[in-house]
Amino acid sequence: MKQNFYNWNLTESHPVHMQFFFRRALTSMKDMDFHRSIHLNIQIAGDESIRICNAEILLKNIDCLLTAPWEPHGHSSSRKGMVGLMTALHPEKLAGEMLGEKAKFDALLSMPPEKRQELIRKYVPKDKILRCLENLLGKSVLDRIGKRWKRGQVSLPWLDSNLPEGDYLHSWHAVVGLVIDIVSTIPPDRFSCSNSRQSFQLYPAFELLGTEKFHRITAEEAAEVCNVSVSGFRKKFIEMTGVPFAEFELNYRFSQAVSELHDNRLLVKEIAEKYGFYDISHFIRLFKKKHGISTRKFMKSPVQGFRS
């Protein structure tokens, strides 16, 4: 479970968080995530289809994916299985590293995610992405991952045991170097205003959801912090995410509650009420519908996990 669902506890002195992702063939993850950090994900092996806002993006070997602050992302699936490295980056500190490229950097983040990914795939050489991976993990670790992947011997515990610890400065500069390469490699004329979007106007709503996750947020409250009309907010939100705000908000609180079930420290009723589900029967039905097992069986299971 994440230490902090939406900001990864990033600070000026600890501006980067890294973790591996591993998924077996023909599996999926349905929850959406969002936070104020910037993500730079690198696909080490396999394939992954991931949804960002309302766009489906396919990642293959040595692809990288850049997500902007507060962009909803998730609903990922994999046909062959995948190994990836996720880095979460402190947004203000990263912006400060861009120097003369900051205008292009801001323009890249404001693009629709599918357009941003199209430019990265077209203009950023894979050898630069690979060099960043080698700087982060070491060539020997990367080679071992490749060999184990081919033999079907990759596991998340093994990956985590090979994750470098402690040297945040080295990791930070390696990732920042790749972001600068991405921004500087894309031709300036590709950063036209017509490619930009206005959905960042809705980001205060995601921040509100993240900070007030223990009770229900209405569309009226979200529209107010975004300084838009309720009808305009509802329309823009569906355009951005593909689902109504009420559905997104409910699923977000539910995913937070389910994450806490992993800790197994509180009763289901206590966790449900903590996240604003005062009808415990509704929470239990929703859990079984989404995950295929009852909360009782889940809590008793020695290995807690969900149906893919």
* Number of separate domains in the chain: 2
Name the nearest CA neighbour of 155 among 306, 21, 1, 2.
21
What share of the chain in percent tops pLDDT 90?
43
What average pLDDT does this structure show over 296-301?
74
- The residue range of the domain holding 62 is 16-195
| Pair 125, 244 in one domain | no
- The sheet carrying 38-46 orders its strands as 16-23, 82-89, 38-46, 64-67
144 phi/psi in degrees, rounded to 5 = -65, -40
Choosing from 169, 195, 221, the residue where a domain stops is 195
Domain check: are 50 and 128 in the same one? yes
The answer to whether position 6 is within a domain reads no
What digits encode the pLDDT tens for the residues 125-177? 999 999 999 999 999 999 999 999 999 888 888 888 888 766 778 899 999 99
Rounded alpha-carbon distances, angstroms, from residue 165 to 13, 94, 162: 15, 20, 9
CATH number at residue 211: 1.10.10.60
Evaluate whether 156 touches 20 at the Cβ level (below 8 Å): yes
- Per-residue pLDDT tens for 32-71? 788 889 999 999 999 999 989 888 999 999 999 999 988 8
Torsion, CA 300, CA 280, CA 255, CA 25, rounded to 10: 50
- Residue pair 87/17 in contact by the 8 Å Cβ criterion: yes
The pTM of the full predicted model, rounded to 2 decimals, is 0.78
Among residues 195, 212, 233, the one where a domain terminates is: 195
Domain boundary among 167, 195, 223: 195
Are 166 and 57 found together in one domain? yes
- CA 205 to mean position of chain CA atoms: 17
Looking at the fold, whether 85 and 54 belong to one and the same domain comes out as yes
Q: What does the angle CA 290 – CA 295 – CA 299 come to, to the nearest 5 degrees? A: 125
Residue type at 139?
K
